[in-house]
């Protein structure tokens, strides 16, 4: 606010300086800016002064165009102030000046603004005088039509409007389309007010399309809002809801809270029309949080209270018995009144009709007739309103005062029938007022009659009637012709409605973005690290055992699964510290029980941590909650191994020993149920398998391997047990580690390879970080094999972590290698790999380690790759792994891996759908993008999702080329039953795309619709796509591709191979007369083609005659050949009499006269 005032003050000073210097043009420009600023702040009089000064300065400068713009602004301000005639005068001045200047742009704007002015006047008179409304609408429509003529030169049914020559260069393409969009929007509003709703939908949909394409968000908002309003009037509530939802989405980004409030109120109205009374509160509650003007807030509160009362009444209705007619009738009437407040008139009529049904024959029905008449009147259905006023009049035959009021209302509804039809009604109303001896009512009737007479330009009669009314007023001392208090009572005052907490229960769900951002900032501040190790407040509270602080943080919105720098969760901290109550609380709040930590956590779960440090209470809690006992860390240790190591190292007292043994037995039982080998359950915690030591003791979570027998003295162990953050160095461990490295040699790659390798944990995160934690397997689901270690990079032999306050170890960390799949479980005695094999799965490489003495087969490799993918993605996908060599030749199942290695064969893998695969294409595409290292396209996923309903995949307009196309085309292997494929405006000519789409089209055995228009193709491309030629097509569109005469053979083959082809479009394909060769003509005669479109091709008269003579006379029903004769006139008539099935012939834009076309009378001829 202060910035705006400062800007205005600076501009005023700048304007005075410019005027003092004599720079009137700069001063006029500043006046224009000031006027806009004042207008935005609703300071209309100040804005008016600035624009008037701008007009004076422009007149001094002789700038007629600037003067016209100033008059346009002045007119707009006058219109906002309610000065209708002055507004019209200034808009006409703007039009006159633009015509004198000869500016087509300003003329178009002047006409559009003039039309907008008339449209606003019509809207203001909508509830006053239908005759005035009709006149204003006609003037508005005329202005908009003139504006459209100035905007575009001509519009035909095939091409969009061409630029007017004078406009070209004056405005950009986007500005031109914005003008067009606003004109269409105005046309739509005029047609809506004229009750031409279908035509209104047509204009508004065009406006929506243009504004969406050119990102004209403000115009798109207005277009969708008005389109939703029209759909609501048509009773098409589903499309109305779709449009208003989009309008709300756009409105949130515009910053105009009043307009957004209007859209939210409309959404509530649409939901009420759908009988969704509870849901109707939600948008109104959302609007309640916006910054609104006082008038808008007052209207919103009225709407919200009505919606709350409507929901309450509907709930109350369900509790009533069917026999309780009186109570149900009262509720129906109340709900109908509330629906009128919410402008849901069709629903109100339904409810009033239910009230009528519940009334007995003896009960008075006049009040309901009045309500129905008023509802129809508000809805603009005056004929229906008049029908119920007549019914009410029959009920008041013995009540002259009420009959008078009814006659006055009836006369308003019948005003469009002319003065002769309504004059008897007013005369009868005056007689009834006299019979009732109600002078006020008689005065009211006479004054209403005088207004009608003035509208019908009966000045003399109007003067006499007004004089009679004034005489009665003076004679009886009546100060004004106020309507009596009972005439227009409010349905019900909503001011007494109190919104309870239950009524506002959805307020949090519809919290505006500002409030959401505040909540997000608060949550972010809670999770800021408090030390150098990345600990958050929750980490610290879990380490310190502060249960109250943990509860407080979680209640304030702190995330329960937040990591420190090393990757530990708060649950890991509370587990190794032994804080059992905090562990329970975190698990109740959704903590990830089987989480293996981050990169520096060596794959240890909270159960590993609790077992490693002998926190038996926590171990029991985790086991009771279902923690997995089969998960291994990077050293191959399970929780059972950790617990045994702790027992042997610590030597617990008897009570702890008994509990520890019991827990070990429990873990063994769970592991046996999970299918673990019995030999693994009985092995001691001595050195087995790969046992590499990096430090002397368990100094932090990244400490030594618990499977190593090298230990320090008891004092050091005690110190480590008290605080595992201390860091010890052990030269013995380092020497053993280095010796192991020398022996292993090639087991781990020291230098990180640059090739793309499959990162399992990253894929899990892309599939959904939250979902992955909730879908962790229990013991029963854990596979018994150890050949897969799902870590982020490759299998590290040891990873001495740096846990917060720990020092660096002397040990050297193995460099990571790609994910390895050893053939057998690594166990003692140690076997070293001899060969490595790279398997390429699309763009992802997987390394397979073949151990010494083993000779696996391709069948084994395929099966294990399949298990790998299933383990990563659960059982949601069903597929089979197909192995081939680099040339695409399939490998036999019994071929040995070693034999392939010896021959240097590059093994490639591909996924093929299983027979029972029913997953949506969207999910398959998203899954496959991981293997091609591509980011899933949101637009493509939406199109794939839609194809599941329609059976037709539409990827038109999406720039797919090169490698990004491969995830899509590969996913279509799972969709052989697609019946339609639209590739319009897609770069199919790219060689990679061409091969991929050819493969897809060849697999679609039920394809009957193919759209390739505007793809930049030549005959070679299309022949490649359709080889081998598809024989199931029924509709093909090859328009806007450069086929030329070379495309004749292509089209011939297409017609010959597709005996079911019904529709063929070849629009603007650069076809000449020679295109219609003898082979093509023969194919045309034998095909059952029903529709053929060759428009905008220079086939000339010769080609047109060949075409007409070659078409199948018993099949062709529609022939479109618009703009195919560049050199008219025709030398002789075109004979179409033999085309007996023809019903539509389009020869437009050929300058052909009807006398030159001989066809049957039943043919619809377009020239």
Round to whole Å and give the CA distance between 704 and 637.
12
Q: Find the angle CA(197)-CA(198)-CA(204) to the nearest 5 degrees.
A: 85
pLDDT of 1128 reads 59
For the chain, domain boundaries: 1-101, 364-474, 537-673, 834-909, 935-1165
* Contact call for residues 1021 and 987 (beta carbons, < 8 A): no
pLDDT of 586 reads 92
The pair of structure tokens assigned to 592 is 């990830």
**Three-class SS of residue 1011?**
strand
Round to whole Å and give the CA distance between 464 and 470.
10
* Domain 935-1165: CATH class, spelled out: alpha beta
pLDDT of 940 reads 82
pLDDT of 602 reads 82
At residue 1009, what are phi and psi to the nearest 5 degrees? -130, 125
What are the helix (H) ranges across 359-399?
366-378, 382-395
- For the chain, the C-alpha Rg in angstroms (whole number) is 41
Round to whole Å and give the CA distance between 57 and 28.
6
Domain 1-101 coded CATH 1.10.287.3510: no
Domain 834-909 coded CATH 3.10.20: yes
Show Cβ contacts of residue 740 under 8 Å, excluding neighbours closer than 6 positions.
690, 691, 692, 797
Angle between helices 616-624 and 570-577 (to 10 degrees): 130
Count of CB atoms situated within 10 Å of the CB of 245: 16
* Residue 331: C-alpha distances to residues 198, 327, 360 (Å): 35, 6, 17
Burial class (CB in 10 A: 0-12, 13-18, 19+), 40: exposed
Give the residue among 755, 767, 812, 758 at the shortest CA–CA distance from 789: 758
Round to whole Å and give the CA distance between 355 and 333.
6
Round to whole Å and give the CA distance between 33 and 54.
10
Q: Which DSSP letter does residue 956 get?
A: T
Give the residue among 998, 943, 775 at the shortest CA–CA distance from 874: 775
Round to whole Å and give the CA distance between 310 and 272.
9
Q: Find the angle CA(878)-CA(884)-CA(887) to the nearest 5 degrees.
A: 140
CB-facing half-sphere around the CA of 843: CA atoms within 13 A: 14
The stretches in the chain having pLDDT less than 70 are 1-4, 103-105, 108, 116, 119, 121-171, 479-528, 599, 651-654, 674-837, 849-854, 869-879, 904, 913-919, 949, 960-963, 989-990, 1029, 1127-1132, 1135, 1137
* Contact call for residues 1020 and 1043 (beta carbons, < 8 A): no
Burial class (CB in 10 A: 0-12, 13-18, 19+), 1167: middle
| In the block, residue with structure tokens 């006020």 | 440
| In the block, residue with structure tokens 């179409």 | 1136
537-673 topology per CATH: 1.25.40
pLDDT of 574 reads 93
Beta strands at 879-884 and 907-913: parallel, antiparallel or unpaired: antiparallel
Count of CB atoms situated within 10 Å of the CB of 257: 18
Residues 230, 236, 238, 241, Cα dihedral to 10°: 20
Round to whole Å and give the CA distance between 111 and 806.
78
Round to whole Å and give the CA distance between 1023 and 1046.
11
Show Cβ contacts of residue 702 under 8 Å, excluding neighbours closer than 6 positions.
566, 600, 601, 602, 799, 800, 801, 802, 803, 806
| Exposure string over 58-92, b if 16+ CB within 10 A, otherwise e | beeeebbbbbbbbbbbbbbbbbeeeebeebbebbe
**Three-class SS of residue 139?**
helix
The pair of structure tokens assigned to 314 is 């509907």
364-474 topology per CATH: 1.25.40
pTM higher than the cut 0.75: no
* Residue 685: C-alpha distances to residues 518, 608, 702, 737 (Å): 53, 15, 18, 18
Task: Tell which phi-psi region holds residue 1064, choosing left (phi > 0), alpha (psi between -120 and 50) or beta.
Answer: beta
Question: Mind giving me the DSSP string for 945-1013?
Answer: HHHHHHSEEE-TT----SGGGHHHHHHGGG-TT--EEE-TT--TTSHHHHHHHHHHHHH-TT--EEE-T
The secondary element (H helix, E strand) that includes residue 146 is: helix 130-151
pLDDT of 1006 reads 83
Does this chain's domain 834-909 share its CATH topology with 935-1165? no
At residue 843, what are phi and psi to the nearest 5 degrees? -100, 15
**Three-class SS of residue 1086?**
helix
Bond preceding residue 1129 cis, omega within 30 of 0? yes
Give the residue among 935, 921, 983, 937 at the shortest CA–CA distance from 957: 983
* Contact call for residues 795 and 748 (beta carbons, < 8 A): yes
| In the block, residue with structure tokens 């800016």 | 33
Q: Identify any residues that bridge with 1119 across adjacent strands, giving them in sequence order.
A: 1092, 1145
Round to whole Å and give the CA distance between 647 and 655.
12
**Three-class SS of residue 1069?**
coil
- Give the chain's count of helices (H) and strands (E): 46, 16
Q: Find the angle CA(600)-CA(604)-CA(609) to the nearest 5 degrees.
A: 115
SS3 breakdown of the chain: % helix, strand, coil, rounded to 5? 55, 5, 40
């Amino acid at each position: 606010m202060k910035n705006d005032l400062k800007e205005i003050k600076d501009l005023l000073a700048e304007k005075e300086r410019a005027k003092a210097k004599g720079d009137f043009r700069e001063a006029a420009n500043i006046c224009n800016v000031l006027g806009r600023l004042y207008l935005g702040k609703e300071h209309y009089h100040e804005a008016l002064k600035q624009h008037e000064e701008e007009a004076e300065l422009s007149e001094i400068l002789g700038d007629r165009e600037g003067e016209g713009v100033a008059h346009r602004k002045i007119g707009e301000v006058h219109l906002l102030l309610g000065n209708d005639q002055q507004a019209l005068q200034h808009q006409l001045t703007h039009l006159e000046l633009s015509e004198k200047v000869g500016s087509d742009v300003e003329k178009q704007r002047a006409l559009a603004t003039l039309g907008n002015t008339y449209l606003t006047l019509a809207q203001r008179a909508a509830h006053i005088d239908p005759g005035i409304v009709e006149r204003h609408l006609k003037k508005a429509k005329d202005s908009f039509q003139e504006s459209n003529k100035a905007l575009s030169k001509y519009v035909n049914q095939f091409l969009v409007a061409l630029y007017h020559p004078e406009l070209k260069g004056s405005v950009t393409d986007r500005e031109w389309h914005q003008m067009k969009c606003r004109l269409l929007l105005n046309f739509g509003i005029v047609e809506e007010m004229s009750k031409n709703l279908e035509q209104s939908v047509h204009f508004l949909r065009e406006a929506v399309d243009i504004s969406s394409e050119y990102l004209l968000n403000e115009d798109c908002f207005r277009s969708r809002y008005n389109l939703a309003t029209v759909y609501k009037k048509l009773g098409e509530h589903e499309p109305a809801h779709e449009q208003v939802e989009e309008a709300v989405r756009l409105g949130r980004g515009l910053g105009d809270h009043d307009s957004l409030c209007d859209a939210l109120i409309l959404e509530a109205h649409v939901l009420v029309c759908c009988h969704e009374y509870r849901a109707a509160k939600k948008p109104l509650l959302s609007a309640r949080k916006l910054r609104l003007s006082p008038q808008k807030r007052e209207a919103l509160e009225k709407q919200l209270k009505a919606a709350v009362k409507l929901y309450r009444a509907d709930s109350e209705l369900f509790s009533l018995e069917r026999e309780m007619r009186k109570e149900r009738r009262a509720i129906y009437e109340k709900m109908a009144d509330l629906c009128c407040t919410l402008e849901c008139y069709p629903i109100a009529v339904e409810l009033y009709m239910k009230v009528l049904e519940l009334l007995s024959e003896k009960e008075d029905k006049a009040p309901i007739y009045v309500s129905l008449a008023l509802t129809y009147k508000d809805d603009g259905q005056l004929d229906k309103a008049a029908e119920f006023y007549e019914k009410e009049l029959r009920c008041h035959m013995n009540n002259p005062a009420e009959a008078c009021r009814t006659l006055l209302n009836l006369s308003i509804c019948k005003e469009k029938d002319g003065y002769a039809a309504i004059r008897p009604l007013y005369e009868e109303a005056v007689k009834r007022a006299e019979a009732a001896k109600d002078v006020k009512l008689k005065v009211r009737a006479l004054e209403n009659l005088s207004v009608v007479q003035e509208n019908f330009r009966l000045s003399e009669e109007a003067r006499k009637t007004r004089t009679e009314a004034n005489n009665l007023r003076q004679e009886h001392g009546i100060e004004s012709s106020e309507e009596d208090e009972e005439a227009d009572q409010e349905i019900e005052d909503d001011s007494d409605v109190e919104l309870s907490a239950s009524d506002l229960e959805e307020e949090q769900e519809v919290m505006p973005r500002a409030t959401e951002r505040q909540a997000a900032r608060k949550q972010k501040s809670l999770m800021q690290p408090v030390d150098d190790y990345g600990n958050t407040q929750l980490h610290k509270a879990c380490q310190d055992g502060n249960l109250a602080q943990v509860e407080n943080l979680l209640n304030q919105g702190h995330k329960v699964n937040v990591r420190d720098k090393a990757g530990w969760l708060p649950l890991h901290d509370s587990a190794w510290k032994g804080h059992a109550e905090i562990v329970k609380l975190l698990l109740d709040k959704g903590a990830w029980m089987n989480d293996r930590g981050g990169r520096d956590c060596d794959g240890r779960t909270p159960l590993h941590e609790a077992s490693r440090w002998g926190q038996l209470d926590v171990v029991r809690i985790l086991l009771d909650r279902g923690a997995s006992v089969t998960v291994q860390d990077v050293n191959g240790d399970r929780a059972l191994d950790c617990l045994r190591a702790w027992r042997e190292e610590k030597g617990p007292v008897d009570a702890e020993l008994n509990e520890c043994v019991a827990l070990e037995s429990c873990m063994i039982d769970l592991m046996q149920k999970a299918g673990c080998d019995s030999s693994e359950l009985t092995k001691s915690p001595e050195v087995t398998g790969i046992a590499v030591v990096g430090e002397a003791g368990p100094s932090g979570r990244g400490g030594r391997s618990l499977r190593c027998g090298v230990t320090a003295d008891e004092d050091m162990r005690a110190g480590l047990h008290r605080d595992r953050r201390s860091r010890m160095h052990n030269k013995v461990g380092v020497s053993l580690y280095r010796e192991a490295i020398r022996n292993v040699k090639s087991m781990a790659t020291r230098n990180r390879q640059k090739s793309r390798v499959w990162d399992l944990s990253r894929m899990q995160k892309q599939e959904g970080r939250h979902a992955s934690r909730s879908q962790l397997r229990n013991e029963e689901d854990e596979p018994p094999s150890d050949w897969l270690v799902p870590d982020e990079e490759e299998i590290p032999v040891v990873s001495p972590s740096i846990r917060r306050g720990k020092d660096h170890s002397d040990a050297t960390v193995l460099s990571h290698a790609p994910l390895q799949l050893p053939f057998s479980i690594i166990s003692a005695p140690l076997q070293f790999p001899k060969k490595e094999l790279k398997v390429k799965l699309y763009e992802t490489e997987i390394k397979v380690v073949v151990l010494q003495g083993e000779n696996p087969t391709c069948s084994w490799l395929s099966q294990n790759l399949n298990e790998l993918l299933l383990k990563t993605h659960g059982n949601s996908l069903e597929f089979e792994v197909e192995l081939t060599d680099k040339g695409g030749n399939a490998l036999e199942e019994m071929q040995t891996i070693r034999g392939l290695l010896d021959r240097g064969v590059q093994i490639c893998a591909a996924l093929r759908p299983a027979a029972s695969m029913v997953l949506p294409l969207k999910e398959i595409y998203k899954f496959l993008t991981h293997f091609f290292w591509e980011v899933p396209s949101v637009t493509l996923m939406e199109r794939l999702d839609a194809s599941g309903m329609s059976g037709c995949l539409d990827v038109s307009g999406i720039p797919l080329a090169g490698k990004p196309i491969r995830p899509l085309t590969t996913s279509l292997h799972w969709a052989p039953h697609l019946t339609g494929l639209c590739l319009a405006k897609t770069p199919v000519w790219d060689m990679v795309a061409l091969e991929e789409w050819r493969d897809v089209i060849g697999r679609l055995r039920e394809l009957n619709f193919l759209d390739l228009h505007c793809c930049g193709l030549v005959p070679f491309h299309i022949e490649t796509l359709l080889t081998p030629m598809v024989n199931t097509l029924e509709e093909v569109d090859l328009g806007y591709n450069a086929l030329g005469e070379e495309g004749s053979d292509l089209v011939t083959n297409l017609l010959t191979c597709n005996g079911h082809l019904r529709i063929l479009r070849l629009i603007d394909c650069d076809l000449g007369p020679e295109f219609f060769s003898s082979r093509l003509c023969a194919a045309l005669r034998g095909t059952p083609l029903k529709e053929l479109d060759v428009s905008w091709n220079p086939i000339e008269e010769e080609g047109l005659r060949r075409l007409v003579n070659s078409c199948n006379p018993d099949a062709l029903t529609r022939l479109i050949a618009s703009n195919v004769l560049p050199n008219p006139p025709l030398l002789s008539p075109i004979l179409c009499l033999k085309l007996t099935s023809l019903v539509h012939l389009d020869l437009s834009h050929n300058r052909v006269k009807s006398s030159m076309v001989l066809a049957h009378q039943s043919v619809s001829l377009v020239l």
